[in-house]
Amino acid sequence: MPPSPAALEAEISQRILKHWHHAVPNDRMAHLVKDASRSFLRSLQARLATTGVSLGHWTFLRILWEHDGVTQRELSHDAGVMEPTTAVALRAMEELGYIRRERRAENRKNIYVFLTPKGKALKRKLVPMAEEVNGLAVRGIDPADLETTRRCLLVMLDNLASDEGLAPAPDA
């Protein structure tokens, strides 16, 4: 009999821990951040699965809870995914009754995305799950250390955002 999803997740977690604590504890920062992010997402995904909401839908819901009525293109940009991926996810979310899409008379080109009452109501159920994951992740960490970590990560984001390698090439 194949292992359960929970058993597979536990095995992945143990391999990551072994890697960071024993195999290569001084591996690159990017790998550590990536593995931490994956661990956050796995933990959240396990909780979301109990509600039937996918991790991909969570991303769009979270954005729409803050900025309802954005264009489909803006939503795709804010989520950091390609527009076809957004279109597929939104079609499914529309079928589930979480969102509605509409064109406005003054601009028939853009498609605007709005939460339905059902989509808005999910916030009360799902946000506490994300907060639980965050609480679990920081358990036992001194608040001053958390503030330092947050500040360091924000500086890293700023540094990488200003990376000249990402800047558009000047017109020749």
Structural domain contains residue 152:
no
Same domain, 11 and 38: yes
Range from 69-73, 75-79, 166-170 carrying the lowest mean pLDDT: 166-170
Start-to-end Cα distance in the chain: 62
pLDDT classification of 50: cutoffs 50, 70, 90: very high
Collect all residues with Cβ–Cβ distance below 8 Å to 46 and sequence separation of at least 6.
Answer: 6, 9
Compute the distance between CA of residue 135 and CA of residue 7 in angstroms, rounded to an integer. 23
Same domain, 45 and 105: no
Same domain, 115 and 104: yes
Structural domain contains residue 159:
no
DSSP 7-67: HHHHHHHHHHHHIIIII-TT--HHHHHHHHHHHHHHHHHHHHHTTT--HHHHHHHHHHHHS
Same domain, 121 and 67: yes
Structurally, the chain folds into a number of domains equal to 2
Same domain, 31 and 70: no
Structural domain contains residue 157:
no
Compute the distance between CA of residue 150 and CA of residue 138 in angstroms, rounded to an integer. 12
Point out which residues pair with 62 in neighbouring strands. none
pLDDT at residue 172 is higher than 50: no
Same domain, 122 and 65: yes
**Given phi > 0 = left and psi -120 to 50 = alpha, else beta, which region is 140?**
left
Structural domain contains residue 111:
yes
pLDDT at residue 107 is higher than 60: yes
Assign residue 112 the CATH number of its domain.
1.10.10.10
Q: Which residues form the domain of 90? A: 53-128
- HSE (CB half, 13 Å, CA atoms) of 22? 5
Point out which residues pair with 114 in neighbouring strands. 100
Same domain, 71 and 88: yes
Collect all residues with Cβ–Cβ distance below 8 Å to 108 and sequence separation of at least 6.
Answer: none
Three-state DSSP at 112 gives strand
Structural domain contains residue 165:
no
Mean per-residue pLDDT over the chain, rounded = 87
pLDDT at residue 137 is higher than 70: yes
Structural domain contains residue 172:
no
Structural domain contains residue 138:
no
